A = this chain, B = another copy of it.
């Protein structure tokens, strides 16, 4: 896989390819997520985008993240009851969550196999399977 540079210019193309109108704020938010390739919460995104001086409002950060989600640009990771994380990696993968530090990392789905799941209830389709391995520092 070719490593790609997540410049702000490239972000515009990325957004367009997902049918998202590339505005200044959206580019900044996408850049925050993709240049780091990390799991960020909404308030972390806020903090990053507004480091120099306040540029983007809370409402826009939330609106934009929801938009990215709908357009399939990012994924939502629900592991912490107090906040949602957004994951710029949309390829199939699972998560490792360090309970005490709150650190969240990816587990490639390629070698993981899940079998024996019961059939779905009638009229239902799978939207996704989340596998979360919760770990703790050994006592």
Copies in the complex: 2
Q: Is A79 an interface residue, CB under 8 A from the partner? A: yes
Report the stretch among A5-13, A16-24, A30-38, A130-138 that lies at the interface: A130-138
Q: Which residues of B contact A133 (CB under 8 A)?
A: 117, 120, 126, 129
Instruction: Give the total of A residues in contact with B, Cβ under 8 Å.
Output: 38
| Distance of A114 Cα from B126 Cα, bound (Å) | 18
Contact indicator per residue, chain A 98-139, by CB within 8 Å of chain B (1) or not (0): 110000000110011111111011011111111111111110
- How would residues 59 to 79 of chain A score, 1 for a CB under 8 Å from any chain B CB and 0 otherwise? 000000000000000001011
Is A121 a contact of B135 with CB atoms below 8 Å?
yes
- In the complex, 24 of the A-B residue pairs with CB atoms within 8 angstroms, ordered by the A residue number, are A78-B79, A81-B84, A107-B118, A108-B118, A111-B118, A113-B115, A113-B116, A114-B114, A120-B133, A120-B135, A123-B137, A123-B138, A124-B136, A125-B135, A125-B136, A125-B138, A126-B135, A127-B134, A127-B136, A129-B132, A130-B130, A130-B132, A130-B134, A131-B132
Instruction: Known A-B contacts: A112-B117, A128-B134. Give 7 more (CB < 8 A).
Output: A78-B80, A107-B118, A114-B131, A123-B137, A124-B137, A126-B133, A129-B132
